[in-house]
């Protein structure tokens, strides 16, 4: 595997402490599964879950390509013949146990394709593996999870979306469901799900990109299929008068709970630009709903089903995993200023306690999760630092950040190349292999190709 590494130094002692602690946590989250080095979720979660670890592994590609690849590969290895992917892969004394009792999420296809670019070797066998695996998975979703044939995918259990113990599933608490037939008599399940529609949209967009790279003639077909999913989300789950999506119950009635899962759909890229802007403006930035002192509660703070409960609970707490997903969610729509505010809030919360936990109290910023050393929170902190003071490779481009406010020096090693950005707090100088490429004033970010040439309409953009 290609060699990668990151170095970061700053005059901000608090930020430096956060950075070193997050890196230490992630080094401690390396484990061996199935004879391969992987990055586990961490804290009390000692396995790999599909909602976190393909994404987490790919984020860790900046530092460890071997673990990054294995976090993708093991889920592909244990895909069933019918196309279903395991929701979690557990370590047992007798070996590996892939579980198919629930979907768990799908922070996977986008990140799996990113690894192709990280590898830099034009590995067509890897692309073919991705095409086969995800085309079969999308087929399984539509074969088994649209039981009423209305064109909207359904969740069968709260664990299909990883919303553990959420109050929005009355009558179905703790239910696992590994069957292809839907549950009956468990609350109002199955739900017509914005999350599952996001899974398919993301998968189909990735398959379109893989088809382009493979030149198999199916790029347009998969993009059209993705477009059909996006349109169905708008027509069936989006409520124009409320500027948000809502799931529907087993009788196709709207569930009126306002949930952060809208941000998840943005992570998958399945909102249109206007839908994303409207949700963020009306709801995400609303102090009564999602912009609490510690933003991004799982359920809007003024919703009747909001519950601020300690421990692993998605009824109201602000989750580290949501902060991790928010990066792609906001960048998909060019919403860089809100993203900066989100990242600064996470770094503030971590600084207060120096505990990298699963969830935080949305009003006090107090850690309320189980344990410390939770990987998604540590990785989110490292990613925000990279966006604010560093450089991030994303496929065939580079994102440079210059938040300013402190002196900083960030270098990304990627094979033989060195991408570096140095700031005096007022402006930053970016270079590739020692050659200066651009100067950024504090409060801006830039996008370039891998040679340092500025890209497109939004090549230099304010982030504060």
Residue keyed to tokens 């009390």: 44
SS3 7: strand
Taking every pair of C-alpha atoms in the chain, what is the biggest distance, in angstroms?
A: 65
Distance CA 89, CA 86 (A): 7
Q: Is 43 left (phi over 0), alpha (psi -120 to 50) or beta?
A: left
Q: Across residues 146-153, what is the average pLDDT?
A: 98
| pLDDT bucket at 134, cuts 50 / 70 / 90 | very high
ω into 190 cis (within 30 of 0): yes
Confidence at residue 458, expressed as pLDDT on a 0 to 100 scale? 63
Four-CA torsion 46, 51, 54, 58, nearest 10 degrees = -100
Phi, psi of 431 (to 5 degrees): -145, 155
Q: Is the bond preceding residue 155 a cis peptide, omega within 30 degrees?
A: no
pLDDT, position 384: 98
Under a CB-based contact definition with an 8 Å cutoff, are residues 318 and 296 in contact?
Answer: yes
Helix locations, 296-446, DSSP H:
320-331, 336-353, 375-389
Q: How many CB atoms lie within 10 A of CB 221?
A: 14
Is residue 278 over pLDDT 70? yes
* Distance from C-alpha of 401 to C-alpha of 217, rounded to nearest angstrom: 37
Q: What is the pLDDT of residue 37?
A: 98
Cα dihedral sign, 48-54-55-61:
positive
Question: What is the chain's mean pLDDT, rounded?
Answer: 97
| Whole-number Å distance between alpha carbons of 431 and 427 | 14
Average pLDDT over residues 48-59: 98
**Cα 314 to Cα 325: distance, rounded to the nearest angstrom:** 15
Average pLDDT rounded to a whole number, residues 35-43: 97
The answer, yes or no, to whether residue 311 has pLDDT greater than 90, is yes
- Residue 94 in this model has a pLDDT that exceeds 90: no
Nearest to 191 by CA among 110, 103, 306: 103
The β-bridge partners of 154 are: 192
Average pLDDT over residues 92-112: 96
pTM of the predicted model as reported, rounded to 2 decimal places: 0.98
SS3 273: helix
Nearest to 417 by CA among 461, 440, 449: 449
Query: What per-residue confidence (pLDDT) applies to 456?
Result: 76
Of all residues in the chain, what percent carry a pLDDT higher than 90?
97
The CA–CA distances, whole Å, from 409 to 85, 147, 340, 423 equal: 41, 54, 19, 6
Q: Kind and range of the H or E element at 56?
A: helix 53-59
Q: Is the pLDDT of residue 457 over 90?
A: no
pLDDT at 396 over 90: yes
| Distance in angstroms (rounded) separating the CA atoms of residues 169 and 184 | 14
């Amino acid at each position: 595997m290609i060699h990668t590494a990151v170095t970061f130094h700053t005059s901000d002692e608090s930020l430096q402490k956060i950075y070193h602690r997050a890196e230490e946590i992630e080094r401690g989250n390396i484990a061996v599964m199935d004879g391969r080095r992987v990055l586990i979720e961490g804290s009390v979660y000692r396995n790999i879950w599909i909602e976190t670890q393909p994404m987490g592994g790919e984020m860790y590609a900046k530092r460890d390509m071997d673990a990054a690849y294995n976090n993708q590969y093991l889920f592909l290895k244990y895909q069933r013949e019918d196309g279903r992917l395991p929701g979690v892969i557990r370590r047992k004394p007798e070996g590996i146990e892939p579980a198919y009792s629930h979907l768990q999420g799908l922070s996977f296809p986008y990140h799996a394709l990113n690894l192709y670019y990280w590898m830099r070797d034009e590995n067509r066998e890897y692309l073919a593996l991705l095409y086969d695996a995800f085309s079969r998975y999308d087929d399984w979703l539509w074969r088994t999870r649209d039981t009423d044939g209305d064109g909207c995918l359904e969740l069968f259990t709260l664990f299909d979306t990883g919303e553990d113990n959420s109050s929005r599933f009355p009558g179905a608490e703790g239910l696992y469901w590994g069957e292809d037939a839907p549950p009956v008599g468990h609350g109002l399940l199955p739900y017509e799900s914005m999350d599952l529609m996001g899974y398919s949209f993301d998968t189909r967009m990735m398959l379109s990109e893989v088809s382009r790279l493979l030149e198999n003639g199916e790029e347009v077909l998969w993009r059209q299929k993705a477009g059909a999913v996006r349109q169905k989300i708008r027509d069936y789950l989006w409520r124009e008068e409320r500027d948000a999506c809502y799931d529907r119950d087993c009788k196709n009635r709207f569930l009126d709970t306002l949930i952060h899962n809208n941000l998840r759909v943005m992570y998958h890229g399945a909102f249109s630009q206007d839908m994303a802007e409207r949700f963020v403006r009306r709801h995400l930035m609303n102090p009564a709903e999602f912009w609490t002192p510690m933003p991004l509660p799982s359920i809007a703070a003024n919703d009747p089903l909001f519950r601020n409960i300690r421990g692993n609970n998605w009824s109201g707490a602000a989750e580290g995993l949501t902060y991790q997903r928010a990066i792609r969610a906001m960048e998909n729509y060019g919403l860089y200023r809100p993203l900066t505010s989100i990242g600064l809030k996470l770094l503030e919360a971590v600084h207060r306690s120096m505990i990298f936990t699963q969830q935080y109290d949305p009003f006090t910023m107090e850690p309320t999760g189980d344990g410390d050393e939770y990987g998604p929170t540590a990785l989110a902190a490292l990613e925000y630092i990279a966006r604010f003071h560093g450089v991030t490779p994303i496929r065939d481009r580079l994102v440079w950040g210059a938040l300013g406010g402190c002196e900083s020096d960030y270098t990304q090693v990627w094979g033989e190349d060195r991408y570096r950005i140095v700031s005096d707090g007022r402006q930053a100088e970016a270079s590739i292999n020692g050659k200066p490429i651009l100067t950024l004033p504090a409060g801006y970010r830039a996008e370039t190709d891998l040679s340092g040439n500025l890209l497109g309409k939004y090549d230099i953009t304010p982030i504060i």
